[in-house]
């Protein structure tokens, strides 16, 4: 097979998150990938995907909202913000039995990773004990564990690591120069500080963003450049397609062109070749044909079988039917990161 003619190399980034002259993936190079002819871009993405994931399997992950609504943040896309009238009712944190029942069902349906999400700006210490118990008990089921709890203070990532957490999810959402158009109650640096604490604690990072919030193509490239220039880049990269919820500030925007979403997946695969690139929120509205193109572009993980926080997610049987149509197999339930003794490595 002939090498691609485009000169942007397929290599692992080493630069810090803020773009520097020596950044492995400067914004201009990422934008150049977005602007390739569609077939050329898909070819490049397939090359990267096959080189790094020769088995071609798809990871199934289930996300459960363990604490819904009432968040004090003002993220313009989020129906869980207390200040928006979206019909989402603030609820108390779930009890451990409810969480374990959901985890067992997720595992029975083929999910290998279980993520627990809470609508908090930052978890309080009284919450941490409950979350740590959930992590320990879900880990004991033989599943990978992931949590998304908002910003972490000093020491909290270490607490989660000790409980057996594998991944921590904290999205940077969008490009730095678009961030203040979406969120004003925290700074971009706050996101980076939490990611730094997660890495320093020895946890794996799940970090991505949302597209279709009114950003430009250059800003979508900026989001991916920020992720790719993390050192190292995230092990999991969820790419969300904005779900417009009435009552949120971003409701009523013109929807993103579906092929632009596919381009975003393909570029993510090329510049973060070893990451699991996950189809996350908004997958339902894309339809089967676009989802199939996303898998061709290198997506190899999906949120599956349960509700994705407060937006709908395709039912498990529909997902299995689509994967069967495409001849895609799912990741084995025998996890390399679920050792015999509880450990967050």
Please count the other Cβ atoms lying within 10 Å of the Cβ belonging to residue 31. Answer: 18
Given a contact cutoff of 8 angstroms between Cβ atoms, the answer to whether 33 and 271 are in contact is yes
Dihedral over Cα of 211, 212, 215, 217: its sign:
positive
45 Cβ contact partners less than 8 Å away, ≥ 6 residues apart: 265, 266, 267, 269, 270, 296, 297, 298
User: If you write DSSP's letter for every residue of 258-308 in order, what string do you get?
Assistant: HHHHHHHHHHHHHHSTTSEEEE-TTHHHHHHHHHHHHHHTT--EEE-SS-B
Q: Residue 58 phi/psi, 5° resolution? A: -115, 125
The residues assigned a catalytic role are 71, 75, 78, 115, 146, 206, 278
The two three-digit tokens of residue 49, written as one number: 């995907």
Alpha carbon distances (Å) from 319 to 111, 166, 241, 287, 334 = 12, 25, 17, 11, 21
- Ramachandran assignment for 173, one of left (phi > 0), alpha (psi -120 to 50 degrees), beta (any other): left
Q: Residue 201 phi/psi, 5° resolution? A: -80, -5
The two three-digit tokens of residue 221, written as one number: 């490239």
The two three-digit tokens of residue 197, written as one number: 């604490």
CA distance 25 to 6: 14
Alpha carbon distances (Å) from 181 to 185, 199, 215, 302 = 11, 28, 9, 28
HSE, CB side, 13 Å, CA atoms: give it for residue 76: 20
Cis ω for the linkage preceding 232 (within 30 of 0): yes
């Amino acid at each position: 097979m002939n090498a691609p003619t485009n000169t942007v190399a397929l290599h692992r980034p080493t630069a810090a998150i803020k773009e520097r002259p020596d950044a492995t993936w400067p914004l201009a190079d990422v934008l150049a990938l977005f602007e390739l002819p569609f077939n050329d871009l898909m070819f490049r993405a397939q090359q990267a995907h096959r080189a790094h994931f020769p088995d071609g399997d798809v990871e199934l992950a289930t996300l459960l909202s363990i604490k819904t609504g009432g968040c004090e943040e003002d993220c313009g896309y989020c129906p869980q913000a207390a200040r928006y009238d979206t019909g989402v009712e603030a609820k108390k944190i779930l009890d451990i039995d409810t969480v374990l029942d959901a985890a067992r069902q997720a595992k029975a349906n083929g999910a290998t990773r279980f993520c627990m999400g809470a609508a908090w700006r930052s978890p309080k210490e009284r919450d941490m004990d409950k979350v740590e118990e959930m992590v320990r008990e879900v880990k004991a089921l033989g599943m990978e564990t992931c949590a998304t709890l908002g910003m972490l203070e000093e020491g909290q990532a270490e607490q989660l690591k000790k409980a057996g957490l594998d991944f921590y999810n904290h999205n940077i959402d969008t490009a730095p120069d678009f961030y203040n158009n979406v969120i004003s109650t925290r700074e971009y640096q706050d996101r980076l500080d939490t990611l730094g604490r997660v890495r320093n604690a020895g946890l794996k990072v799940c970090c991505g963003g949302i597209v279709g919030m009114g950003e430009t193509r250059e800003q979508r490239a900026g989001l991916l450049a920020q992720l790719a220039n993390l050192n190292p880049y995230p092990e999991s990269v969820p790419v969300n397609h904005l779900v417009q919820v009435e009552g949120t500030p971003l409701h009523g925007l013109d929807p993103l062109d579906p092929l632009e979403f596919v381009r975003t997946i393909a570029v993510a695969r090329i510049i973060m070749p070893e990451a699991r690139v996950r189809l996350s929120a908004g997958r339902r509205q894309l339809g089967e044909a676009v989802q199939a193109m996303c898998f061709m572009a290198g997506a190899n993980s999906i949120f599956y079988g349960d509700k994705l926080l407060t937006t709908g997610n395709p039912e498990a049987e529909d997902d299995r039917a689509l994967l069967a149509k495409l001849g895609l197999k799912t990741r084995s339930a025998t996890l390399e990161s679920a050792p015999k003794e509880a450990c967050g490595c």
